[in-house]
Amino acid sequence: MSSPLPLVSMAEAGDPRHVGQKFAGQQHLAQHGFPVPDFFCLTTTMFQEVSRPILPAIEQLISAVDSTSHQDIRRVADEIEHLFLEVPLAAEHEAAILETFDRTFCVDGTVAVRASVVGRGLEESEDSETDPFAGVSSTFLYVRRDLLLERIRRCWASAYTPEALIYRLAQGRDVRGLTVAVGVQRMVPGRRSFVAFTCDPKTTERRMLVVAGHGIGEGVVQEKVGVDHYFIHPQTGRIDRELGHKAEMLCENPAPGGGLLRQPVPEPLRDAPCLSEEELKRLATLARNIERTFGVPQDIEGTFTADGWLHVLQSRPIAFDFRKIRVWGCANVSESFPGVTTPLTYSLASHFYEVIFYDLLRRMRGADSRALHDQTPAFQNMLGFIDGRVYHSLSNLMHVNGINPFIALTSMRDLEDVLQLDASLVLRLPGHRESFPSTAGYALALGRSVVGALGVTATFQRDFNAFEAWWKQTLAGLRSLNLAREDPLVLIHHFRRVWTEVGNWWGLTLINHWYINTLFGLARRLLHQWTGEDPSALLVGLLCGARPDASTHALLSAVALAEAVRADAALAKRFEAEDAEAVWRSIEAGEVSPGFARAFREHLREYGDRGVQELNVERPNLRETPWELVRIVQSYARTSVTREALRASDLARRREAEAQLAALLQGRSLRKLAIQQLLERLRTVIGLREDSRFWRGQLFGFSKQVFAALGQRMAERGTLGAPLDVHYLTMKEVMDHFEGRSVTRNLGELTRLRRREQRENQERQPPRDFTTVGSVADGIPRAVEALVEDASLFKGIGSSAGIVEGIARVVLDPGAVGTLNKEDILIAKETDPGWLFLMPASGGIVVERGSMLSHTAIAGRKFGIPTVVGVAHATTRIPDGARIRVDGSTGTVTLVAA
């Protein structure tokens, strides 16, 4: 094989080891038709030839440098630069460089001369994916022909500048064996320059960031001039601007060899946007295309010339240190664990995530047991507890989902939609191709995961039926226990036995979630492609009319009680005149009809684990507070809601949507059949999800009983001041106390501290989503006040079609609400299945959080209630008692003038 050429043009393919990653990237851009100024490159081969005579001296200098002394480092750098300035350059190399310059730029052209340092490996080279080494090698601008060779020599020496030596030595990297490629590129007289990151370099969100200023790019890159910041959102294209004061710019100095000149920006341009909306859109399109050709997020430098032409000067990978980045979000998890909660609830939730996701990945067979074991830290850290609130650690949650190559390849975008991310995330997933050392290893893992996916699909319904049978049998056994009388170690034994079995079954619920995400995403894409319209409103109706699930049965049971109340004049009078606790006392005392009392107790037996915030251990369920069921029945009894009307409304919405679909797909019977089959399967798996959520409430209800009994024992022994103080300990701390692993006996003082912290957390308003870099404790955003705006229009996601006008009822604690009626619009932060009893009594629903597949959205669709989710700060921006109009199709909420 012939040795690499010492000099190559921009049209020739370049190996990064020979032309440096900077110029390999430039060649890639040029070959794909991007507007790159002409250039040629002096390869590392020429560097090696030129430096061979002085290499022993360089080695001697760097081997003796005192890495702790900046003065000594600077001395060594100066001596190495002097060696390069004096080393002979072969006549044929000099002639080739000048001849190529004349041919490419003409004799009187000006160029930029840039170094690109190549380390022993590409990962230690400039502009690598893991470390860009930005700013440590030399760049010279507006270079004329007579200074070209001298600037090239200085570029060669820049592998050993003080900055380069300090940077490498500080990281423990080798400073020997370095080579340098040098690029000579046509100098573009930029008037407005920019750096564009195709995703947020701090947060990994796919929100494009553009930093722009006047003059040439050196001023922007080195932060020598004032700049604007533009944030371009990927889904909407919305541009947020943070304009800076741009008083100065860097320009060409007309004096030969004079470097750069700092000049004032014309007064009218100093505070105006540097780039227009049209230019930003053009730049965003270009940047996305560049990223697509490289396959990874890019850091792009470029400039606009006076004629408006856009030039790309450089593109390199954004270097992320994923060890330090954590992305946090509560949009989806807050549906199950809303607001401020307790350490016991958080620790139980975290344990639940760990065991069920492990079961998911075990079943999918995309990774062997050793590979799953190696990911234990990610399994244990999918949830965070921040300011007393449960957050998804989106970095770890998506990392865990991405362990399976098939899921990583096919389903991550759908998962991001479900997690309601404003911008998708760039993550290094263990199941992605780049995480495998070889193509063969990736192919083997992908093949195994595909076989696993086919296997779980083939047996899913059978396995889910077995899961249901196991849970019902297990639950019956648990309800036969008298937990209040058991020894603490026996209680812990029962708890561990059940949760061990949970880890062998509950992964099926996540497989079902996977089906929902995949099928819903496919249905959206097909409907949009086949109808040419946004399918959101149509899907709302098409998903109605499914078989009743466990949550629906619970609701219908409560409505049946209300119907019985309305049918009995004496009972109706009692429910109308007395408060909920008094009515419950009369039921207990046998003062109501035996048939109603039996039905009431049957509801508590079957659905007593259902309630508001039912997964929060500190929140009692209906079985413990039966008067709450009385309050729900009172609310329904004051309306005309019936089981038959609810069923009829659901079916009517389904029929209306199917008629609309038939009209849109008229004459396309195969497409209609395909989408009907897809929707039928989607309705089925959504129903299974609601069933399993009901079982989850029962599982957490059992866990509440266990820890209530353990808290009682701790209070009896004086360890805690009161049984309910157990909520302020973690699951592990409670069990460690009884099993001899506790690191302190003073748990009572610990609970008092945490109770105080909980009160303080109630006053905080942390953001819905944020990112931390480095220590999470040091990176949590401080309290954020709710937005206050005078605007009368609020925008969210329309999730159940229909328009309703009524009175806003802001509900923060559903347990404190007496009743709602069809004139009331329910305004809440979020809902969980426990709110289901309150929803049908309202005329409309507006929540701050949620998605098309959230519980709020599904409930709204099922019962024909106009619903809008995702309205930021709805509970603080929409006044309680205000008259509002809710449009569940467009996702708008409007304040109506009195």
The beta-carbon contacts of 523-532 under 8 Å, at least 24 apart in sequence, are 523/675, 523/678, 523/679, 523/682, 526/671, 526/674, 526/675, 526/678, 527/675, 530/664, 530/665, 530/668, 530/671, 530/675, 531/664, 531/665
User: Does residue 30 sit in the same domain as residue 155?
Assistant: yes
Residue 414 lies in a domain: no
Residue 491 lies in a domain: no
d(CA 160, CA 155): 10
216 token code pair? 């040439």
Percent of the chain with pLDDT over 90: 56
Containing structural domain, residue 824 = 793-895
Q: With the CA atoms of 519, 525, 527 and 533 taken in that order, what torsion angle do they form, in degrees rounded to the nearest 10?
A: 140
- Which of 411-425, 534-548, 618-632, 649-663 has the least mean pLDDT? 411-425
Residue 450 lies in a domain: no
Residue 397 lies in a domain: no
Q: In terms of DSSP H, where are the helices of 402-535?
A: 405-410, 412-418, 439-479, 488-505, 507-531
- C-alpha distances in Å from residue 844, one per residue of 307, 800, 871: 55, 9, 14
Average pLDDT over residues 316-327: 83
User: In the prediction, which pLDDT does 786 show?
Assistant: 39
Single residue among 171, 186, 201 that ends a domain in this structure: 186
Average pLDDT over residues 539-562: 90
d(CA 823, CA 837): 17
DSSP output for 613-677: TTT-TTS--TTT-THHHHHHHHHHHTS---HHHHHHHHHHHHHHHHHHHHHHTTT-HHHHHHHHH
User: Does residue 139 sit in the same domain as residue 236?
Assistant: no
User: Does residue 90 sit in the same domain as residue 149?
Assistant: yes
Smallest Cα–Cα separation from 639: which of 819, 832, 801? Answer: 819
| DSSP category for residue 205 | B
Specify the DSSP element, H or E, that contains 62: helix 55-63
What CATH number did the domain enclosing 78 receive?
3.30.1490.20
CB neighbour class for 764 (10 Å; exposed up to 12, middle 13-18, buried from 19): middle
Single residue among 317, 342, 364 that ends a domain in this structure: 317
User: In the prediction, which pLDDT does 133 show?
Assistant: 62
The pLDDT-based confidence of 131 (bands split at 50, 70, 90) is low
In 358-439, DSSP assigns E strands to 383-386, 389-393
Average pLDDT over residues 91-116: 93
- Which of 355-364, 559-568, 885-894 has the least mean pLDDT? 885-894
User: Does residue 165 sit in the same domain as residue 16?
Assistant: yes
The pLDDT-based confidence of 545 (bands split at 50, 70, 90) is confident
- Amino acid letter at 421? L
Smallest Cα–Cα separation from 61: which of 41, 46, 45, 75? Answer: 75
User: In the prediction, which pLDDT does 644 show?
Assistant: 93
Average pLDDT over residues 151-172: 83
Dihedral (CA of 800, 806, 808, 814) sign: negative
- C-alpha distances in Å from residue 778, one per residue of 346, 435, 761, 775, 782: 21, 30, 17, 5, 10
In 787-888, DSSP assigns E strands to 793-795, 797-800, 803-810, 824-828, 844-847, 867-869, 883-887
Average pLDDT over residues 887-897: 85
Residue 110's CB is within 10 A of a number of other CB atoms, namely 16
Residue 776 lies in a domain: no
Residue 267 lies in a domain: yes
The label of the residue with tokens 């600077």 reads 74
Residue 783 has pLDDT above 50, yes or no: no
Contact between residue 36 and residue 26 where contact means Cβ atoms under 8 Å apart: yes
The pLDDT-based confidence of 327 (bands split at 50, 70, 90) is confident
User: In the prediction, which pLDDT does 336 show?
Assistant: 83
User: Does residue 147 sit in the same domain as residue 196?
Assistant: no
What CATH number did the domain enclosing 205 receive?
3.30.470.20
User: Does residue 55 sit in the same domain as residue 171?
Assistant: yes
- Amino acid letter at 476? A
Smallest Cα–Cα separation from 337: which of 285, 382, 403? Answer: 382
Single residue among 140, 167, 186 that ends a domain in this structure: 186
User: Does residue 46 sit in the same domain as residue 85?
Assistant: yes
SS3 384: strand
Break the chain down into helix, strand, coil percent, rounded to 5: 50, 15, 35
* Kind of pairing between the strands at 139-143 and 111-118: antiparallel
User: Does residue 205 sit in the same domain as residue 273?
Assistant: yes
What is the number of domains present in the chain? 3
User: Does residue 196 sit in the same domain as residue 52?
Assistant: no
Task: Give 403-454 pLDDT, tens digit per residue.
Answer: 988 888 887 776 776 666 655 677 777 888 777 888 898 898 899 999 999 9
This prediction has a pTM of 0.79
Average pLDDT over residues 658-669: 92
User: Does residue 59 sit in the same domain as residue 31?
Assistant: yes
What CATH number did the domain enclosing 874 receive?
3.50.30.10
d(CA 621, CA 690): 18
When the pLDDT of each residue in the chain is averaged and rounded to a whole number, the result is: 88
CB neighbour class for 44 (10 Å; exposed up to 12, middle 13-18, buried from 19): buried
d(CA 418, CA 520): 10
Residue 311 lies in a domain: yes
User: Does residue 27 sit in the same domain as residue 131?
Assistant: yes
d(CA 399, CA 408): 9
Query: Which residues are CB-neighbours of 442 under 8 A, at least 6 positions away?
Result: 405, 433, 436
Residue 790 has pLDDT above 60, yes or no: no
User: Does residue 177 sit in the same domain as residue 52?
Assistant: yes
Average pLDDT over residues 173-201: 88
User: In the prediction, which pLDDT does 789 show?
Assistant: 47
| DSSP category for residue 895 | E
SS3 316: strand
d(CA 479, CA 118): 69
Residue 560 lies in a domain: no
Task: Give 496-532 pLDDT, tens digit per residue.
Answer: 999 999 999 999 999 999 899 889 989 999 999 999 8
d(CA 633, CA 475): 27
Task: Give 211-232 pLDDT, tens digit per residue.
Answer: 899 998 888 877 678 889 899 9
Task: Give 32-60 pLDDT, tens digit per residue.
Answer: 999 999 999 999 999 999 999 999 999 89
